[in-house]
Amino acid sequence: MTNRTALVTGASRGIGRACALALAEAGARVAVAARNVEQLESLAGEIRSRGREAFVAPMDLTSADSIKEAIAKVAKDFGPIAILVNNAGITKDGLAMRMKKPDWDDVIATNLTGAFVAIQQVLPAMMRERWGRIINISSLVGEMGNAGQANYAASKAGLIGLTKSIAQEMGSRNITVNAVAPGYVETDMTQGLSEELKQKIVANIPLKRIGRPDDVAAAARFLASEEAGYITGHVLSVNGGLYM
């Protein structure tokens, strides 16, 4: 993927940050997108300190206009996007019976609709080049569900359906579309879990540890590579064996 331009959403921390660093290490020119510009600038600085190219692209995944403007700016100033990692995601947990509609709407808008709009924006350039890699970061709960996360699970299951549909539409253009479904990973999103709950989770994981952002980034890096050129419509689970 040397000198190809990659865009990673939700890149300011956690899995997105790890994906951006891994793609840069593999030779891609990486555009990093999120709402927190300060964190993006820090990440871009780290990428550049390693002798790689980085571009900061402020983006609000709940706004189609923001996504379109950011992607247009990346393409104009940094090069057409050949690799897209849709990683941005939020949670607003609560039991379905009491879930407020704005909490449903916000999670679906960011995690699913935002990913779809980003895909729409990068496809024309990928089709022209007849080469593209789209990697959607789904979740274990998109495959097995989770009490108290109806909105999040629905958004992540939706990403899997989106992945398989776009894979079928774009296969003839040499554009692959795959999903990565992480299990429990040490990120800001899981730091709120109590030590007792973490131990219970680990007890059910065959590999006996919670995942690291780098574990997920390695999967994304592989799916973005030339070596993964005959893999499309696939969901790669990175969950330590918790769900098989």
pLDDT, tens only, 37-62: 999 999 999 999 999 999 999 999 99
Given 152, 184, 230, 243, the catalytic residue: 152
- Which alpha helices (DSSP H) does the chain contain, by range? 14-25, 37-49, 64-78, 101-108, 114-129, 140-144, 150-170, 195-203, 213-223
Is 230 a known active-site residue? no
Confidence of residue 1 (pLDDT cuts 50, 70, 90): confident
At which residue do the structure tokens 């607003």 appear? 92
Mean pLDDT, the chain, rounded, equals: 96
**Is-contact 37 209, C-beta < 8 A?**
no
CA–CA gap between residue 16 and residue 137 (Å, rounded): 9
pLDDT band at 244, cuts 50/70/90? very high
Q: How much of the chain, in percent, has pLDDT values that exceed 70?
A: 100
What 62-68 contacts at long range (C-beta under 8 Å, 24+ apart), as own/partner pairs, is 62/106, 62/109, 62/110, 62/114, 64/117, 67/114, 67/117, 67/118, 67/121, 68/117, 68/121
Please tell me the predicted confidence (pLDDT) of residue 188. 72
Q: How far apart are the first and last CA of the chain?
A: 30
pTM value > 0.85? yes
- Report the pLDDT value the prediction gives residue 134, as an integer from 0 to 100: 98
Residue 169 has pLDDT above 90, yes or no: yes
CATH topology of domain 5-238: Rossmann fold (3.40.50)
Q: How confident is the model at residue 189 (pLDDT cuts 50, 70, 90)?
A: low
Residue 64 CB contacts under 8 Å (≥ 6 apart), including other chains: 117
Residue 38 CA to residue 155 CA, distance in Å, equals: 28
pLDDT for 191 equals 75
- pLDDT of the residue at 120: 98
Average pLDDT over residues 218-244: 97
3 state DSSP class of 240: coil
pLDDT at 194: 83
Nearest to 234 by CA among 141, 133, 152: 133
Confidence of residue 119 (pLDDT cuts 50, 70, 90): very high
For 132-155, write each residue's pLDDT tens digit: 999 999 999 999 999 999 999 999
Q: What CA–CA distances, in Å, run from 177 to 17, 85, 107, 171, 180? A: 21, 10, 22, 8, 10
- pLDDT for res 68: 98
171 secondary structure, DSSP code = G
The pLDDT tens digits of the residues spanning 20-31 come to: 999 999 999 999
**Residues 2-10: what's their mean pLDDT?**
95
